[in-house]
Amino acid sequence: MAEASEDASALPVTVKKKKSLSIEEKIDIINAVESGKKKAEIAAEYGIKKNSLSSIMKNKDKVLEAFESLRFDPKRKRLRTAFYTDLEEALMRWYRIAQCLNVPVNGPMLRLKANDFAQKLGHNDFKCSNGWLDRFKSRYGLVFRAQPVEATAVSVDPSAVWHQNVLPYYLNDYHPKNVFNIKETGLLYRMLPTNTFAFKGETCSIGQLCKDRITLVVGTNMDGSEKLPLLVIGKNKTPHCFKGIKSLPVCYEANRMAWMTSDVFERWMQKLDEKFQAQQRRVVIFVDSFPSHPEVKNLKSIELAFFPSCLSSKFIAMKQGVIKSLKIKYRHCLIKKFLSSVEGSKEFTFSLLDAVDTLHLCWRAVTPETIVKSYEEAGFKSQKEESDRTNAETDTSLDLVAHAQAAGVEFPEGLSIEEYAALDDDLETCEAAPKGDSEWPEENKSEETGFYTSDEEDDGGSLGTELPLPSKTEAITALETLKNFLRSQDMSDELHNSLADLEIFINSSSK
């Protein structure tokens, strides 16, 4: 009996290894439980204990999220996340976009991109080693295979591939109020109908029209609830009409060519990023892939999504109606100001400051309906909700043209207000390559405290007839006149409050 006991104790003890299930198997178990199948039968089928099954059901939401968001390989067994979660998410998004666009990706490319993202996200201690790369590929189930020769010969429309496979990723990740598109457009801010044909066909590189050109950058969110402040880029950093002005209703930049540069873009993105940080928001901004639109480092609230360089302009929301609406409204205002001068027998003057104020006014008048419709035309359709709003803006261009002609103003026959507004659409607006020579020399840059005048300035406004700044007493008198007029109208509570705010501001001013 003693020998038998010794033989039994000498036998190796076998410990049953705990079974690990893949995410795919856990999904099957969750579906089985929710279909009403007995838990004991499910546990026996998958060779697990009942408490393990209970643990799976307890973490059901995490398993479903991992499976549906494609962040993990379905065959993967653990849901442990990496230390550099933001880096991995950015790298996987880049990889999936490359897949959609049929761009072959290999290990060295992935390593370079990982180090690039790490630098931009502020992970200065990160280095993409072979071990990290192998673990990353294992976590996400990435396998690099040589592409068949015949696969590369298939003709694919990159625009369609981007719209069907890349855009949905962003629309799933961001609410429509946090999806933005920005776009540059040229503007000849003093061009009247009487000199449109002088410009038609010209490149606007010389002459008076060149002096009158600026670049506008417009941007809105997808649901039409927010318009970014206009960015106006002029040729003169210190125009005469800005003398004494310390604030403008738009963001103003200037360089020799009056176009977007990489430096201007970076400053603007940093400013917008500070705004969204203060609002505790995370947004995505769709921009063209131009040299003047570089990757901007250390953005905390903005993700820049670059359109493929080959993308059709029909997918750019601002070009589907927003820019057109702004320009038509602006031309309406310009013609009305011109007509007012003609009918009053006064010389017509219109400075860059007048243009800035008019643009701000017209930008506020662009309707949410126009914005939503433009995004829908560009294929930005939210999966959360469908909009049935239509463009409610009315067309009064025929009345305006008739009024101009009745006042004796020459309006070229056959030229519609839409054609007139679109004549400067093809102006160059972006720096072709970041050379740095379009920026003002460092020693000539304006002081940050405000704007100052320049002896070389010629903004085409009322030269030699500088208007003195009104006094505080004159401002209060003007406000009283405005009040008397508005009180004779049907005013909203909001307008009453705005008038009160205006009066408080004037009374609290120092001058």
pLDDT band at 78 (very low <50, low <70, confident <90, very high): low
**Residues 277 and 313 placed together within one structural domain of the fold:** yes
Mean pLDDT of the chain: 78
**Residues 180 and 265 placed together within one structural domain of the fold:** yes
pLDDT, tens only, 433-489: 655 555 555 444 444 334 333 333 445 444 445 567 788 888 888 988 988 888 788
DSSP letter assigned to residue 241:
G
Average pLDDT, integer, range 396-408: 63
User: What are residue 304's DSSP bridge partners?
Assistant: 285
**Residues 32 and 135 placed together within one structural domain of the fold:** no
**Residues 168 and 317 placed together within one structural domain of the fold:** yes
**Residues 65 and 89 placed together within one structural domain of the fold:** no
The confidence score (pLDDT) of residue 234 equals 94
**Residues 237 and 352 placed together within one structural domain of the fold:** yes
Q: What is the CATH number of the domain that holds 94?
A: 1.10.10.60
CB 424 within 8 A of CB 199: yes
The confidence score (pLDDT) of residue 250 equals 94
The residue type found at 288 is D
pLDDT band at 81 (very low <50, low <70, confident <90, very high): very low
**Residues 317 and 353 placed together within one structural domain of the fold:** yes
Structure tokens at 436: 């740095």
The confidence score (pLDDT) of residue 426 equals 82
Three-state SS letters, 369-414? HHHHHHHHHCCCCCCCCCCCCCCCCCCCHHHHHHHHHHCCCCCCCC
The confidence score (pLDDT) of residue 440 equals 53
Q: What is the share, in percent, of the chain residues with pLDDT greater than 70?
A: 72
d(CA 301, CA 180): 13
In a domain, 444, yes or no: no
d(CA 67, CA 71): 7
H-run or E-run covering 181: strand 179-188
Lowest average pLDDT, out of 104-118, 324-338, 366-380, goes to: 104-118
Number of domains making up the chain: 4
Average pLDDT, integer, range 209-225: 89
The confidence score (pLDDT) of residue 439 equals 59
With 60 as the cut, is the pLDDT of residue 145 above it? Answer: no
The confidence score (pLDDT) of residue 276 equals 96
d(CA 274, CA 124): 22
In a domain, 202, yes or no: no
Average pLDDT, integer, range 301-316: 87
The confidence score (pLDDT) of residue 271 equals 96
In a domain, 13, yes or no: no
Full domain range(s) for residue 52: 23-69
- Of the two residues 63 and 335, the one the predictor is more confident about is 335
CB 186 within 8 A of CB 195: no
**Residues 226 and 362 placed together within one structural domain of the fold:** yes
> Which residues are CB-neighbours of 311 under 8 A, at least 6 positions away?
158, 159, 162
In a domain, 429, yes or no: no
- Of the two residues 108 and 16, the one the predictor is more confident about is 108
Q: What is the share, in percent, of the chain residues with pLDDT greater than 90?
A: 26
With 70 as the cut, is the pLDDT of residue 198 above it? Answer: no
Average pLDDT, integer, range 174-182: 95
With 70 as the cut, is the pLDDT of residue 169 above it? Answer: yes
pLDDT, tens only, 244-286: 888 899 999 999 999 999 999 999 999 999 999 999 999 999 9
pLDDT band at 97 (very low <50, low <70, confident <90, very high): confident
pLDDT, tens only, 367-383: 999 999 999 999 998 65
Whole-number CA gyration radius for the chain: 31
In a domain, 123, yes or no: yes
User: What are residue 187's DSSP bridge partners?
Assistant: 214
**Residues 293 and 334 placed together within one structural domain of the fold:** yes
pLDDT, tens only, 351-360: 999 999 999 9
Helix axes 368-377, 322-343, angle to 10 degrees: 140
In a domain, 504, yes or no: yes
**Residues 97 and 215 placed together within one structural domain of the fold:** no
pLDDT, tens only, 29-71: 888 888 888 888 888 888 888 888 888 888 887 777 666 554 4
CB 56 within 8 A of CB 42: no
User: What are residue 251's DSSP bridge partners?
Assistant: 231
The confidence score (pLDDT) of residue 71 equals 45
**Residues 91 and 60 placed together within one structural domain of the fold:** no
The confidence score (pLDDT) of residue 454 equals 36
Order of all β-strands in the sheet with 213-221: 251-254, 231-234, 213-221, 179-188, 283-287, 302-306
**Residues 263 and 361 placed together within one structural domain of the fold:** yes
In a domain, 119, yes or no: yes
CB 349 within 8 A of CB 462: yes
Strand 283-287 relative to strand 213-221: parallel, antiparallel, unpaired? unpaired
The confidence score (pLDDT) of residue 452 equals 33
Closest CA to 194 of 210, 209, 207: 209
With 60 as the cut, is the pLDDT of residue 196 above it? Answer: no
The confidence score (pLDDT) of residue 494 equals 82
- Of the two residues 320 and 95, the one the predictor is more confident about is 320
Q: What is the CATH number of the domain that holds 177?
A: 3.30.420.10
In a domain, 355, yes or no: yes
DSSP 27-61: HHHHHHHHTT--HHHHHHHHT--HHHHHHHHHTHH
Structure tokens at 209: 């029209």
